[in-house]
Amino acid sequence: MGGALQNRRTFLKNGLLVCLGAGGVAWTRRAGAQFSSENHRWGMIIDLNRCTGCQSCVVACKLQNRTVENRFNTEVLEKETGEYPDARPYFMPTQCNQCDDPPCMETCGEQAIFKMENGIVATDWSKCTGQGDCVDACPYDARFLDARFGGRSDKCDFCLHRLEKAMVPACVEACAPKARIWGDFDKPEGEFADYLKKAELISRPPDRGIETSVLYKWIARGAS
Ligand code: SF4
Ligand code: SF4
């Protein structure tokens, strides 16, 4: 394995989940147990009314996860809603949505993909052969084979290595307008709890009938 591969991602070894951060520091937890010392079910709410398209989250993610050239764990797409003369542009941050019943997981013949109890869909790189069925199966185009990491299947994992250190994902930290709101579905607090209570939240449109841990607040009518 090359040096870059040693630097990050998730491996299962002797029943222990090993998550390697960008600095090469490893943390181990029993497979299937929660990351971090307490139980969590992590989620992200993205308020499309707040996103300015500044791309700071994309840069922060790239620096953190060091994916192969021209592939990103998160992107910000330019979109348009409404009809002329009422059409308006907006920006849509995208990444793996940590699906409740992940289509990518079903297709993996190596059982390398698993859903953690904290809601994160992780990939065991010690099992991943880079065959790529999971890439084709993801309806959100969130996965890719990462040549920088031995051709293994890569995607956003909510910065597992940062969560272990009680840090939020890099994209959340980088977002000045707070368009990415981080929280715990099981113990919602603060703004995350307010959004869950008051906002109409949807999975990434168009609706694919999949429950996800990334939710969006759609653009308010009349917003400009
Ligand atoms: Fe898998 Fe794609 Fe769902 Fe992420 S968004 S869990 S990669 S199917
Ligand atoms: Fe949007 Fe925040 Fe990303 Fe900037 S950092 S593009 S405002 S989500």
**136-161 pLDDT tens trace:** 999 999 999 999 999 999 999 999 98
* Alpha carbon of 37 to ligand 1 centroid (Å): 25
Task: Quote the pTM value.
Answer: 0.87
Query: Does residue 46 have a pLDDT over 90?
Result: yes
Helices (H), the chain: 3-6, 56-65, 103-107, 133-137, 160-163, 170-174, 190-198
Identify whether the C-beta of residue 72 lies closer than 8 Å to the C-beta of residue 179.
Answer: no
For residue 15, report the distance from its CA to the centre of ligand 2, in Å.
37
pLDDT value of position 39: 83
CA of 72 to the centre of ligand 2 (A): 14
- Give, in order, the Cα–Cα distances in Å from 127 to each of 61, 73, 196: 24, 20, 36
Q: Which ligand 1 atom sits closest to the C-alpha of 156?
A: 4
Q: Among residues 69, 71, 75, 43, which one has the least CA distance to residue 56? A: 75
CA–CA gap between residue 178 and residue 172 (Å, rounded): 7
149, two tokens: 């990491």
Using pLDDT thresholds of 50, 70 and 90, give the confidence band for residue 24: very low
Ligand 2, atom 7, lies closest to the CA of 51
Mean of the pLDDT values across residues 202-215?
94
Q: What is the largest CA-CA distance in the chain?
A: 61
Per residue in 61-117, pLDDT (tens digit) is 999 999 999 999 999 999 999 899 989 999 999 999 999 999 999 999 999 999 998
